[in-house]
C-alpha cells in the first residue's frame, strides 16, 4: 500500500512515497548505494521478501511499485513471486525507453496485480499496469498523480487523498515540493485509514521516501518511520551519470 507523488523540475524531479504496511511485517532495510549490472543504484530492501518498492539509479531513472487491489482474486494453489523483485530486475535500466521494453518482455503470470511508475528527467511518467489478467501501459501518466493504493475502501481512500491534494495545491497556488511534503505528512482531518500519513489498528505508514534528481546528483532521503514521527531522515547520494540511450 502506498501514496506516491512527483514533481518535474528544470533538470530533474522530486518523487515522494509513503509506504503503508501491516504492523506485523518485518522492517525494511534502509536504502544503500550499490552497483547492479554496472549501474549505481539506490534502493531500500523489503524485510520479508527481498526486492524493493522504490529505487533510483545514477541515470536519474526511478521506479516505484504500488499494489493493485480488487483486480483479480488470489489463486490459493499458486506460489506467487514477490512483486518487489520487479523493481530489482528493472532498476539498472538507463532510460524509460529501455525500462518500457524490458517490462513488455516480462512473464507476469506469477505476480499479483501491480502498477509500476517509471520516472526520468524531462519525460512524462510511465505507468505499467498488471491486473492479473491484462497488461497495459500509460505513456503519459502525469494526470494520475498522486497515485494511491489501499486495501481498505479503495475508492473512498483514493477519492479522499486526491481531493486533499487538490485542496493543498489550490491553497498554495501551485504544486511544488512543499505541497508534496505537506500532503505526505497530512493527517487531515485526523490520523486514519484515509489520511496520506495512514494510521489503522492493523496497519500504518511505515516509511517515507523522497528522491531528488538534479543536474549533477541523485539523492535518496529516507525516514524509516511514518513522516509524522519526527525521525531523522537518512541521505544516500550518487553522482548523476549521462545517459547515451
Helix (H, G, I), strand (E, B) or coil at 226: coil
159 domain residue, yes or no: no
Q: Which helix (H) or strand (E) holds 203?
A: strand 203-213
**What is the DSSP secondary-structure string of 93-132?**
-SSHHHHHHHHHTS--TTS--EEEEEE-TTSPPEEEEE-S
- CATH number for the domain harbouring residue 19: 3.60.60.10
Contacts of 76 (CB under 8 A, 6+ apart): none
171 domain residue, yes or no: no
Model confidence pLDDT, tens digit, residues 2-25: 999 999 999 999 999 999 988 888
Helix (H, G, I), strand (E, B) or coil at 158: helix
185 domain residue, yes or no: no
**Global pTM exceeds 0.75:** yes
pLDDT for 16: 98
166 domain residue, yes or no: no
CA distance linking residue 239 with residue 99, whole number of Å: 21
When pLDDT is cut at 50, 70 and 90, the band that residue 244 belongs to is low
Tell the burial category of 21 from Cβ atoms under 10 Å away from its Cβ (0-12, 13-18, 19+).
buried
Percent share of the chain, pLDDT over 90:
79
Q: How many domains does the chain have?
A: 1
More confident residue, 66 or 243: 66
When pLDDT is cut at 50, 70 and 90, the band that residue 70 belongs to is confident
CA distance linking residue 148 with residue 164, whole number of Å: 12
83 domain residue, yes or no: yes
187 domain residue, yes or no: no
Model confidence pLDDT, tens digit, residues 104-158: 999 999 999 999 999 999 999 999 999 999 999 999 999 999 999 988 888 999 9
170 domain residue, yes or no: no
More confident residue, 189 or 222: 222
For the chain, the average pLDDT equals 93
Q: Are 48 and 29 within 8 A, CB to CB?
A: no
When pLDDT is cut at 50, 70 and 90, the band that residue 216 belongs to is very high
When pLDDT is cut at 50, 70 and 90, the band that residue 47 belongs to is confident
221 domain residue, yes or no: yes
Model confidence pLDDT, tens digit, residues 169-198: 999 999 999 999 999 999 989 999 999 999
Q: If you average pLDDT over residues 196-204, what whole number do you get?
A: 91
Which residue range is the domain that position 124 belongs to?
2-151+204-239
Q: Are 15 and 219 within 8 A, CB to CB?
A: no
Helix (H, G, I), strand (E, B) or coil at 54: strand
37 to each of 92, 119, 120, 235, how far by Cα in Å? 7, 20, 19, 23
Amino acid at each position: 500500500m502506498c501514496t506516491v507523488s512527483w514533481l518535474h523540475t528544470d533538470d530533474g524531479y522530486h518523487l515522494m512515497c509513503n509506504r503503508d504496511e501491516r504492523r506485523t511485517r518485518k522492517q525494511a532495510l534502509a536504502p544503500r548505494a550499490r552497483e547492479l549490472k554496472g549501474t549505481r543504484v539506490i534502493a531500500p530492501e523489503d524485510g520479508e521478501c527481498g526486492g524493493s518498492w522504490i529505487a533510483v539509479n545514477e541515470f536519474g531513472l526511478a521506479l516505484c511499485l504500488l499494489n493493485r487491489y480488487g483486480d483479480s482474486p488470489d489463486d490459493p494453489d499458486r506460489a506467487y513471486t514477490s512483486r518487489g523483485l520487479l523493481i530489482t530486475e528493472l532498476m539498472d535500466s538507463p532510460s524509460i525507453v529501455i525500462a518500457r521494453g524490458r517490462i513488455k518482455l516480462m512473464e507476469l503470470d506469477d505476480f499479483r496485480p501491480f502498477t509500476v511508475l517509471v520516472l526520468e528527467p524531462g519525460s512524462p511518467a510511465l505507468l505499467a499496469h498488471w491486473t492479473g489478467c491484462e497488461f497495459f501501459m500509460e505513456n503519459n501518466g502525469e494526470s494520475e498523480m498522486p497515485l494511491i493504493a489501499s486495501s481498505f475502501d479503495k475508492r473512498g481512500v483514493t477519492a479522499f487523498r486526491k481531493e486533499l491534494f487538490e485542496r493543498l495545491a489550490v491553497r498554495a497556488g501551485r504544486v511544488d515540493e512543499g505541497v508534496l511534503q505537506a500532503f505526505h505528512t497530512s493527517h487531515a482531518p485526523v490520523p486514519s485509514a484515509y489520511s496520506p500519513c495512514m494510521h489503522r489498528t492493523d496497519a500504518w505508514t511505515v516509511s517515507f521516501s523522497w528522491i531528488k534528481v538534479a543536474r549533477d546528483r541523485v539523492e535518496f532521503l529516507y525516514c524509516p518511520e511514518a513522516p509524522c514521527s519526527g525521525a531523522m531522515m537518512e541521505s544516500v547520494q550518487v553522482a548523476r551519470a549521462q545517459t547515451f540511450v
